[in-house]
Amino acid sequence: MAARFLWASRVASHLRISIAQRGFASVVLKDLKYAESHEWVKIDGNKATFGITDHAQDHLGDVVYVELPDLGRSVSQGESFGAVESVKATSDINSPVSGKVVEVNEVLSESPGLVNTSPYEDGWIIKVELSDAEEAKKLMDSDKYSKFCEEEDAKH
Amino acid sequence: MSVNRVKNLGLPLMNLVKLRGTPILQQLLLEERLLRSSSDNWCIVNDGTNLLTLSWVCLGTVIVDENTLFVSLICNRNDVPDVQPYPRSVMAWSGSLYSEVFNGIADFQLRENDYVFGDRKFGGNAQSITRNRWIHHTSFLWDYSVSNMAYLKLPSRVPQYRLERDHTDFVCKMKDYIERSVFIEKTIKAVGTQFMLKELSLDEIDDSCREHVETTRLLTLDELKETTTRSESIAQAV
């Protein structure tokens, strides 16, 4: 637990954002937005970076492949744009906001495990040009997402 | 509350499709379509498969031949609320379901990610998970030819309990433990404890599905080589 918080602190320091220490295992970063399907998004002007959260990577297990979308492809909020393959399962990655894909993390083709070891930093998946900045308001902030994860885990 | 829920009994509806000798590719295409384009729950039982010109197909560490039994469960997340849409949670649920099937018959357990009798694997499984639905697909190793099994190399990723055993020491034949018809009957009965089953024929399926673009296909040999270094559980054709 302490090691994970230390990792999160380093990530937060690099990204110049603050974090919330939680009593549960998964890490949630403040200043990011979150979807109920466990993707995170960092918005910077009219560009956004996506990935899957620490909660998601922890529950998926070792990621062995990431199916990335083509550049220029449109993505829609809530719709699948790619997939993450872990042992025994392929899981859709859903877009937290709508836009056009302007960059994909090609490093994941060689090192898919970055999604596990660095879900908020080196394990980012795609960057998009936003088509509707207002959509981000439908997403959860870090406190809401933390609570959402706790409630989900408590049910099972 | 799912629209599929039968009010009086409180059990969600599940369509049961019983196939016999349906080619594995056709089954997988059907499953993809039902997962992506239907909002119903489905149980698909394929009693043996037709491999057309192939004598067998490799599905990870399980050799598929005409005797292999396939059972797939496609569920709406909301209709199985105790199951989180992640592989371990889905397998824990399916493991408990099959525990009912094999209760009193064999030393069945879900071991790491495999279905085993004792420490021998008899079923390979895989999941595909979307935002609101998931599929759990199992290939049950009814019988196998030792000479065909010799074609399999040791995968790069192996479960810990395998302990470097070769295939013939690692897997076992389901036919040595249970009658085929008994297995199918007990599986349907176990599923029926959690869902209200309604049997449908293949012809009746079309009406419940939207338009869908297929992505399941046979792999080329080069793709096959690439995928075998990734995962144990991807459908392959040789």
pLDDT in tens, B110-120: 988 889 999 99
Determine the Cα–Cα distance for residues A50 and B12; give it in Å rounded to an integer: 35
- In chain A, the residue whose alpha carbon lies closest to the alpha carbon of B93 is A156
Q: Which residue has the higher pLDDT, A148 or B152?
A: A148
- CATH code: domain A27-155 is 2.40.50.100
Look at B84 and A59 and tell me if their CB atoms are within 8 Å: yes
pLDDT band at B234 (very low <50, low <70, confident <90, very high): very low
Question: HSE of B19 in the Cβ direction (CA atoms, 13 Å)?
Answer: 28
Q: Is the pLDDT of residue A4 over 70?
A: no
Q: B83 vs chain A: nearest CA distance in angstroms?
A: 7
Look at B128 and A155 and tell me if their CB atoms are within 8 Å: no
Q: A16 vs chain B: nearest CA distance in angstroms?
A: 31
Confidence (pLDDT) at A25:
61
Confidence (pLDDT) at B235:
35
Tell me, what's the ipTM? Answer: 0.81
Look at A80 and B130 and tell me if their CB atoms are within 8 Å: yes
Write out pLDDT tens, residues A13-70. Answer: 554 444 444 445 689 999 999 999 999 999 999 999 999 999 999 999 999 999 999 9
Q: Is the pLDDT of residue A101 over 80?
A: yes
Confidence (pLDDT) at B202:
87
Neighbouring CB atoms inside 10 A of B175's CB total 17
Look at B231 and A85 and tell me if their CB atoms are within 8 Å: yes
Interface test with B, best of A53, A88, A152 (most B CBs within 10 A): A88
H-helix or E-strand containing B190? helix B180-192
- In chain A, the residue whose alpha carbon lies closest to the alpha carbon of B157 is A87
Q: Is the pLDDT of residue B73 over 80?
A: yes
Look at B128 and A60 and tell me if their CB atoms are within 8 Å: no
Listed in sequence order, the DSSP H helices in B102-211 are: 146-149, 167-170, 180-192
Q: A140 vs chain B: nearest CA distance in angstroms?
A: 17
- The helix, strand and coil proportions of chain B, stated in percent and rounded to the nearest 5, come to 30, 25, 45
Give the amino acid at A90: T
pLDDT band at B194 (very low <50, low <70, confident <90, very high): very high
Domains (ranges, CATH) in chain B?
13-237 (3.30.930.10)
Q: Using alpha carbons only, how large is chain B's radius of gyration in Å?
A: 17
The region of weakest confidence among A40-54, A77-91, B67-81, B214-228 is: B214-228
A94 in contact with chain B, both atoms CB, cutoff 8 A: yes
Write out pLDDT tens, residues B95-148. Answer: 999 999 999 888 999 988 889 999 999 988 899 999 999 999 999 999 877 776
